[in-house]
Amino acid sequence: MLGPIFYREATVAPKRPKTFVARSVYVLSLFTLLCTGYLVLDGSRSLATSSDAARFGGWMFTLLAPLQLLVLSSLASVGAAASVAQEKDRRTLLLLLLTRLSGFEIVVGKLGATLLVPFALLLGALPLFLILPLMGGVSPTQVFGVFVVTAVTVLLAGSVGTVIGLWREKTFQAIAMTVLVLLAYLGIGESIASQWSDIPLNLQISISPVRALAIASSPMVSLSREISFSLGCFILSTVLLSSLILALGVIKVRIWNPSRELRLKPTEEDEKLDAEDQHISWRAREPKPVWDNPVLWREIRTWAYGRKIVIIRIAFVLLFCLIAAVVQSQIADGVAYEAGGRIGRALPSVTLPLAGLGVISLVLINALAVNSVTNERDGLALDLLLVTDLSPKEFVFGKLLGVMFVGKEMVLLPLMLMVSMALQNVMSYENMVYSILGALILIAFVIMLGIHCGLNYVSGRTAILNSIGTVFFLCVGIAICMTIMVSFRGAFQLQLAPFLVMILGGGAALFASLGWRNPSSAIFFASFGLPLVTFYAITQFLLQTDHLYVFVALLSGYLFTTAAMMVPALSEFDVSLERGRGAVGDEN
């Protein structure tokens, strides 16, 4: 029904070992979080009564449900955009357009093939979630409601990623636009629902997946007809919006592709000149002066990532203006705390929007970095660079500095917001210096991480998912671990065992991602030490004692990891090329 593209993926996917590995790792990760929460709580207070077990089940349900929505939606959106962009980079999408396949079979078939993995993970986690009603505090109706909300949200995220991937030419453009569009959708929906509280409940839920998930996980979902009706409105509106987006892609797929970019055409004077002198052609151009580092020159002086990257810059500036307006309104209302908090005091209210802006910047910069290498490989330019006299130092530092220049708005605007907050006495100048230096360290880390993954993974889609997944784990995974340890307070010796399970498990996953091809002692120590350093930095920041400890932790951990990835690239410059060329077809 969905066409041969979906049928082929549905036939090949069960034969891949990584399909079963992904499902096993995902369910095992959720089960580890559940067991960790149980061990931490049982160490401080035994679950002797039914009420204790019910409270524990309800709390873990409210933790795992949003985490699953975030993980699967991110995987669907980025995976869909990267999958379509990879087809464009390898020119295979043009071959599909030359066949008898209809626009519906191409667009919907590609979406269905991409969503096989997120939906398989979702179904694999269903038995685990159904264990929670056995503890009490959660009903099966809540579990199924959360899963339906998650499924339709994943469908919407995948639809947006697929259509934007068909619209944009470059991989980074597709991923960045997908992320920004989904963030704008969430931000606008949540703003309307929070600012206009007098609108009907069903309309509030229909435009906000966050509120829909909260309603679906509420115990009142099976008792109130109004809540059930509002949840149905969200499901219907999301499916309808996904259908409209896919319909746009079906109509435009052969209009957007191949690209209608402007090409040089001969003028009348050029044709006369060609007729008079056959040695001079209108296609000949004067050679441009190139710098000593040609890689850096190409990154800065040419449109290496396409001219439409200006749209992404404008979208990020608009997002920055929105977050800056929220911060300024909090400062004007007197909600923001003065600098130098004390133990036990709540964090300043401006922390969340500033942290959100920082995470978005890091994700976009990381996507730009990994695409700076994968685009060279997909265009077969990396093969040519390796046979020239270009040194590894010129390539690595050219890409590193070039990515920082191309993404200068994503680097400078958050730093400017920190300076503005310091000038308004929201934070001290000392903390401002720590924040700016820490942000620069993280930016250098995510850029080097993207280059490292781009050099070591043959498939562009695999490199993107591993690189962004590492950033996601360090930003969100460690925060989830910290939330569990802080929420279930108890003696440290009782929390040590589950804490080590989560940290060591995350370190093993990080080592598998970073060092699977070229393992080294430095990568090993960095993989197992970085989650611990990140956990310590976040915890120390929450305690609000001395931010110098946070800065030193970031400085030592992330600089060491950056060096561990940079030194092999500069010394050996071992790039994965022919080794995986034969398996490229298996990725699609």
Residue 73 sits in the same domain as residue 159: yes
For 559-566, what is the mean pLDDT?
91
Residue 250 sits in the same domain as residue 382: no
Distances (CA, A) of 261 to 236, 255, 258, 306: 38, 12, 9, 10
Can the peptide bond before residue 287 be classed as cis, meaning omega within 30 degrees of 0? no
Out of 97-101, 290-294, 332-336, which region has the weakest mean confidence (pLDDT)?
332-336
Residue 194 sits in the same domain as residue 303: no
pTM to 2 decimals? Answer: 0.82
Residue 458 sits in the same domain as residue 544: yes
Integer Cα distance of 121 and 25 in angstroms: 10
Residue 405 sits in the same domain as residue 553: yes
**pLDDT for res 282:** 45
For 328-348, what is the mean pLDDT?
56
Domain membership of residue 583 (yes or no) is: no
Residue 97 sits in the same domain as residue 168: yes
Domain membership of residue 284 (yes or no) is: no
**pLDDT for res 285:** 57
Domain membership of residue 582 (yes or no) is: no
Residue 542 sits in the same domain as residue 409: yes
Mean pLDDT for the chain overall: 81
Residue 465 sits in the same domain as residue 552: yes
Residue 75 sits in the same domain as residue 201: yes
Alpha-helical runs (H) found in 291-386: 294-301, 309-332, 351-378, 381-386
Domain membership of residue 158 (yes or no) is: yes
Domain membership of residue 27 (yes or no) is: yes
Whether the predicted pLDDT of 462 surpasses 50: yes
Domain membership of residue 384 (yes or no) is: yes
Q: How far is CA 24 from the centre of its chain?
A: 21
Whether the predicted pLDDT of 411 surpasses 90: yes
Domain membership of residue 347 (yes or no) is: no
- Tell me the pLDDT tens digit for each residue of 190-248: 777 777 767 777 777 888 888 888 888 887 766 677 778 888 889 999 999 999 999 99
- Tell me the pLDDT tens digit for each residue of 127-174: 999 988 888 888 888 899 899 999 999 999 999 999 999 988 788 888
Residue ranges making up the domain that contains 163? 4-256
Between vectors from CA 535 to CA 532 and to CA 540, what angle results, nearest 5°? 125
Residue 251 sits in the same domain as residue 298: no
How many domains does the chain contain in total? 2
For residue 332, count CB atoms less than 10 angstroms from its CB and return exposed for 0-12, middle for 13-18, buried for 19 or more: exposed
**pLDDT for res 276:** 52
Residue 244 sits in the same domain as residue 298: no
Nearest to 442 by CA among 507, 355, 372: 355
Whether the predicted pLDDT of 577 surpasses 70: no
Residue 209 sits in the same domain as residue 300: no
Domain membership of residue 519 (yes or no) is: yes
Q: How far is CA 530 from the centre of its chain?
A: 19
Nearest to 445 by CA among 537, 381, 383: 537
